[in-house]
Structure 1
Amino acid sequence: MDHDHHATAWQRISSAALSDGLALTTACRACAEDLDADFAGVTLVAAGELRLAAAATDECARLAEDAQLVTGEGPCTDAYTHRHLVEATDLHHASERWPAYAPIAAEHGARSVLALPLAIGTLSIGALDLYRRGPVPFTPHQKDRAGAYARILALLALNEHPHLLTTPPRPAQRGPQGYPPTVHTAAGVLAAKYDLTPDDALTRLRAHSFRHSQPLLHTAQYVLNHHRLDDSPPG
């Protein structure tokens, strides 16, 4: 059965690649379409700390993935940390599990989510997140198929981000450590400008994104462009 799922997943990805090229985002879209997910994303994790939203099927997926960066919690973090499938059939009732992430993801259209770790042997590199707009659980068959896609996506991720192979392994971390380089650079700008510690600067950056419902990377880029963080949402 695993072989059948793997063969079907490769076939669908290969068909999609004929028009869009063989890439992580193309494979992510093929996976979402095959499994009746409304949108999907892939977040990669280097050294247990540095997170990168590496693929998103559309804007909703990008915002849902970014919500995990803003809050430092969510299905991707759990799937990566514990190396097993994570599922929430209704994010409206997941406030105890992910008090900050669940309402933001729901606001961006996600109602249910299925997250699977991306791993090759003992190397963990991230997670695949599949979202539905309604509280509809994924079937056991779909979960098995998703596992096949996750194995393929892990290979494609390493092909696009080979540095993941040479990054020294560390225990998985939650919270402020899990940000792309742009966010850390922006935090450094804020720290210097407002005489803040790096952690306080990161907290201010996250709070601004949360308050204005802005993607964290947009807020960080605004800081890098303007060397300030205004009370108004970044344009």
Structure 2
Amino acid sequence: MDHDHHVAAWQRLGAAVFTDGFTLTTACRACADDLDADFAGTTLITAGELRLLAGATDERARLVEDAQLVTGEGPCIDAYTHREPVDITDLQHAHTRWPAYAPIACEQGARSVLALPLTVGSLTIGALDLYRCTPAPFTPEQQARAGAYARIIALLALDEHPHLLTTANRPPQRGPQGYPPTVHIAAGILAAKYGLTPDDALARLRAHSFRRSQPLLHTAQHVLDHQSLD
């Protein structure tokens, strides 16, 4: 049965690649379409730290995935940390588990989520998140097919980001300990301008993104362009 799902996933992806090219975003869209998900995203994690949104089907997916970087919690982090799927039928009932992330996800229309770790052998490199706008659970058959896509996307991610193979392996951590360089540079600008510590500057960036439901990288780029949050 796993073999059948793997073959079907590759066939579906092959058809999508013929139209849209061979990218992680193409793989996310093929997976979402096949499994009746409304949107999907893939986040890659380096050395136990949340680092990179590698693929997203649309703007909703980018915002919901970025919310995990901003808040340091969510299905991607849990799937990665525990190396097992996370299946939530209704995110409106997940506020206790993810008090900062769940409201943002719901504001973007997400109601149910299936997150699967991206693994290659003993290496875990991130997670695939599938979202629905209704509180409808994924069937066991759909979860099995999603697992096939996760294995394929893990291989595609390593091909697109080979540095993940050479990164020192450390125990996974909760919270957004790692940021892309753009975020650190923006925090440095804020720290110098307002006399903040680096941690306080990062906190101000995250708070600004959270209040405006804006991707953290967008906020950082604004600081780089304008030398200010405003």
- State the TM-score, normalizing by the size of structure 2: 0.97
1:165 matched residue in structure 2: 165
Secondary structure at the residue paired with 1:175?
coil
Distance 2:83 2:178 in 1: 17
CA RMSD of the aligned region, Å? 1.0
Aligned to 2:199: 199
Please report how far the alpha carbon of residue 187 of structure 1 lies from its aligned counterpart in structure 2 after TM superposition.
Answer: 1.2
Asked if 1 retains the 8 angstrom alpha-carbon contact of 2:63 and 2:213, the reply is no
Aligned to 1:42: 42
Partner of 1:6: 6
Whether the 8 Å CA contact 2:50–2:176 is kept in 1: the answer is no
The residue aligned with 2:145 is 145
Aligned to 1:21: 21
Aligned residue in 1 for 2:113: 113
How do 1:46-125 and structure 2 match up within 5 A?
A: 46-125=46-125
Note the C-alpha offset of 1:50: 4.2
**1:233 matched residue in structure 2:** none
Secondary structure of 2:176's counterpart equals: helix
Q: CA deviation at 1:174?
A: 2.0
**Runs (4+) of structure 1 moved beyond 3 Å?**
none
Does the 8 Å contact 1:187/1:198 carry over to 2? yes
Between 179-188 and 127-136, report the one with greater CA deviation: 179-188
**SS state of the match for residue 115, structure 1?**
strand
**Could you give the per-residue CA deviations for residues 118-167 of structure 1, whole angstroms, max 9, x where no partner exists?**
01011110000000000000000000000000000000001111111111
Shift in Å, 1:59: 0.8
Q: Distance in 1 between the 2:72 and 2:176 partners?
A: 6
**What count of residue pairs does the alignment treat as equivalent?**
230
Question: Which has the larger displacement, 135-144 or 172-181?
Answer: 172-181
In 1, Cα distance between equivalents of 2:75 and 2:90:
13
- Unmatched runs of 5 consecutive residues or more in structure 2: none
Unaligned runs of 5+ in 1: 231-235
* 2: CA distance, partners of 1:192 / 1:164: 32
Alpha-carbon distance between aligned partners in 2 of 1:181 and 1:49, rounded to the nearest angstrom: 13
- 1: CA distance, partners of 2:130 / 2:181: 25
How far does the alpha carbon of each residue in 1:159-195 deviate from its partner, in whole angstroms, 9 at most, with x for none? 1111111111111122231422211221122122222
User: What CA distance in whole angstroms lies between the structure 1 residues aligned with 2:97 and 2:140?
Assistant: 23
Counterpart amino acid of 1:152?
I
Deviation for aligned residue 1:25:
0.9
CA contact (8 A) 1:90 1:111 kept: yes
Asked if the contact 2:50/2:69 (under 8 Å) is kept, the reply is no
